[in-house]
Amino acid sequence: MRIDVFSIFPGLVDDFCSVGLLGKGRHAGVFELRCHDPRQHTTDAHRSVDDAPFGGGPGMLLRPEPIFDAVETHDPPRPLLLLGPGGRRFDQDMANELAGLDGFSLLCGRYEGIDDRVRQHLADGEVSVGDVVLSGGEVGACLIIETVSRLLEGAMGNAASPVEESFGAAGLLEQPAFTRPSSYRGWAVPDELLSGDHARIERWRHAQALHRTIAARPDLIAARGGLSDEESALLEEFSPLPYP
């Protein structure tokens, strides 16, 4: 998979994607990342990428010419998605869609945003990382790249398959997990996890995933069409940990 990012701060994305699992995957060739700086495509003496909005108003906007030039020069993989609060809300479903492609590209805004001709005539779509306003699209781009890349074959190493994680195939949140010590400040790890009975541990985990999802994200339970009879029985068998 090839991922191209257009940003006036390309180092932010490049650095983020160079560490941890993401960096390992990148260097192992699980995906290729190319970051491009529209400032390299300016022609004026000051290399300016921004200008004041027509009609007045606060702040500056990214100018269209350096962005069109950068994209047309590098011919990035499509779709080319503009980061912006007005876009489709990014979630695990969208991550799965992007992970099924050979590549995609992300275009990061800054200042008060981007001249709208970029959205209308260059981008293929717009993606939002939540109902918040960031100062730039780079954090969103990193979030998208990290989420998508860990779905790619070879990205996770020995870590659990993303299928078994929150928002995975079961459509649930993942159950809580514990490590040593088995008692810390008087807070004990649930007996079931120490029982050595693997079938019982799996049933307990499934029950806690259900309890947690019902408590925290009942919308996910509704989206998967409710509970099976077996799952209802698991809820009876194991009481919930304290969930908010």
Ligand X SMILES: C[S@@+](CC[C@H](N)C(=O)[O-])C[C@H]1O[C@@H](n2cnc3c(N)ncnc32)[C@H](O)[C@@H]1O
Does 134 interact with ligand X (rule: CB under 6 A)? yes
Does 83 interact with ligand X (rule: CB under 6 A)? yes
Q: Which is nearer to ligand X, 59 or 181 (CB)?
A: 59
- Specify the 3-state DSSP secondary structure of 67: helix
Figure out which of the listed residues 135, 179, 183, 239 binds ligand X, where binding follows CB under 6 A.
135
Q: Which residues pair with 106 in a beta bridge?
A: 5, 81
Helix (H) or strand (E) holding 86: strand 80-89
Q: Which stretch binds ligand X (CB under 6 A): 26-34, 107-115, 152-160, 166-174?
A: 107-115
Q: Which of residues 39-78 bind ligand X (CB under 6 A)?
A: none
Please, what is the end-to-end C-alpha distance for the chain in angstroms?
39
Does 146 interact with ligand X (rule: CB under 6 A)? no
Q: Which is nearer to ligand X, 64 or 85 (CB)?
A: 85
Figure out which of the listed residues 45, 133, 177, 199 binds ligand X, where binding follows CB under 6 A.
133
Q: Which residues pair with 183 in a beta bridge?
A: 188
Q: Tell me the C-alpha to C-alpha distance, in Å, between residue 111 and each of 51, 60, 147.
A: 10, 6, 25
Figure out which of the listed residues 10, 76, 109, 162 binds ligand X, where binding follows CB under 6 A.
109
Figure out which of the listed residues 106, 113, 151, 208 binds ligand X, where binding follows CB under 6 A.
113
Shortest Cβ 150–ligand X spacing (Å): 20
Q: Which residues of 63-86 are buried (b: 16+ CB within 10 A; e: fewer)?
A: bbbbbbebbeeeebbebbbbbbbe
Q: Which is nearer to ligand X, 110 or 150 (CB)?
A: 110
Shortest Cβ 57–ligand X spacing (Å): 10
- Specify the 3-state DSSP secondary structure of 107: strand
Q: Which residues pair with 83 in a beta bridge?
A: 127
How far is it between the farthest Cα atoms of the chain?
72
The values of phi and psi at residue 33, to 5°, are -115, 130
Number of residues that bind ligand X (CB under 6 A): 19
Give residues in contact with ligand X (CB under 6 A). 83-85, 108-110, 112-114, 128-130, 132-137, 140
